Amino acid sequence: MGYAEPVSEIESRLLILRERIADACARAGRDPSSVSLMGVSKNHPPASVAEAVRCGLRLFGENRIQEAKAKIPACAADLEWHFIGHLQSNKVRDAVDLFRVVQGVDTLDIAEALAKQAAKRDRIQPVLLEVNVSGEPSKFGWDPDRLIEALPGLGGMDRLAIRGLMTIAPYTEDPELARPVFRRLRELRDRCSERLGTALPVLSMGMSGDMEVAIEEGSTLVRIGTGLFGERPVPQ
Ligand SMILES: *Cc1c(COP(=O)(O)O)cnc(C)c1O
């Protein structure tokens, strides 16, 4: 018997997130275990990651290699890290060493560079292909038609395991406006899966502001920063 530990902010936010996921799954007739929750820890210190780990989270995302190089070794060793940023060719080696999954593969050149580094390590690198569904000029990612054209080349890289697609929806005040983007990513996933002749189980879509809509449209992995860790501190 004793007093309960005070609930940390991260712990209470995580409870809210789990409820939001469960509610969205209930609306969509999905099992909540079919949606992975990723903590996006960019700009947050290892201590914040440690608190999320204490609360049961195991999956984390970072979008800058330099930051990840310092942070990941300072965190628990048994976590799963995904790279969710834009990967430059001179950072491919670090990405393969640091991350279990590279989300955001957006060109054949980057795919080839990843495959080469994976081969050197005698490994198969799991990746997601980033799609710029909305065609925003400021965003990285495949144009959907170009992706279809590139599939034979991508599918032929036997050191890459293409696990699915990821997208970042345009920022809007009203998450309903993101629904067509998420729906199109799911439809594109189905087309790609048919063309490749393999299952593409992962749909990485949905962030703090639009995760419910993404889940209703089939997301299997939501990437949550502010909704878990609070407002991002300005990077040092
Ligand atoms: C920062 C970031 C997120 C998290 O965004 P929030 O709105 O803080 O949840 C998700 N995905 C990517 C690719 C990001 O860069």
Distance 122 CA to ligand 1 centre (A): 31
In the chain, % of residues over pLDDT 90: 94
> What pLDDT, in 10s, does the model give residues 137-165?
999 999 999 999 999 999 999 999 999 99
Distance 61 CA to ligand 1 centre (A): 9
* Whether 129 contacts 103, CB under 8 Å: no
Ligand 1-lining residues (CB < 6 angstroms): 40, 42, 63, 84, 168, 207-209, 223-227
State how far the Cα of 202 lies from the Cα of 219, in Å rounded to an integer.
8
Q: Where are the domains of the chain?
A: 9-229
State how far the Cα of 30 lies from the Cα of 157, in Å rounded to an integer.
33
* SS3 category, 43: coil
> Taking the CA atoms of the chain, what radius of gyration do you get in angstroms?
18
State how far the Cα of 170 lies from the Cα of 192, in Å rounded to an integer.
22
Residue 42: pLDDT over 70 = yes
- CATH architecture of the domain formed by 9-229: Alpha-Beta Barrel (3.20)
Q: Is 56 exposed, middle or buried (0-12, 13-18, 19+ CB in 10 A)?
A: exposed
Residue 128 tokens, joined: 């997601």
> What pLDDT, in 10s, does the model give residues 188-197?
999 999 999 9
State how far the Cα of 154 lies from the Cα of 152, in Å rounded to an integer.
6
State how far the Cα of 183 lies from the Cα of 163, in Å rounded to an integer.
18
Distance 207 CA to ligand 1 centre (A): 6
Q: Which of 81, 86, 223, 229 to mutate to test the pocket of ligand 1 (most atoms within 8 A of CB)?
A: 223
Strands 101-105 and 160-166: unpaired
**pTM for this model (two decimals):** 0.96
* SS3 category, 220: coil
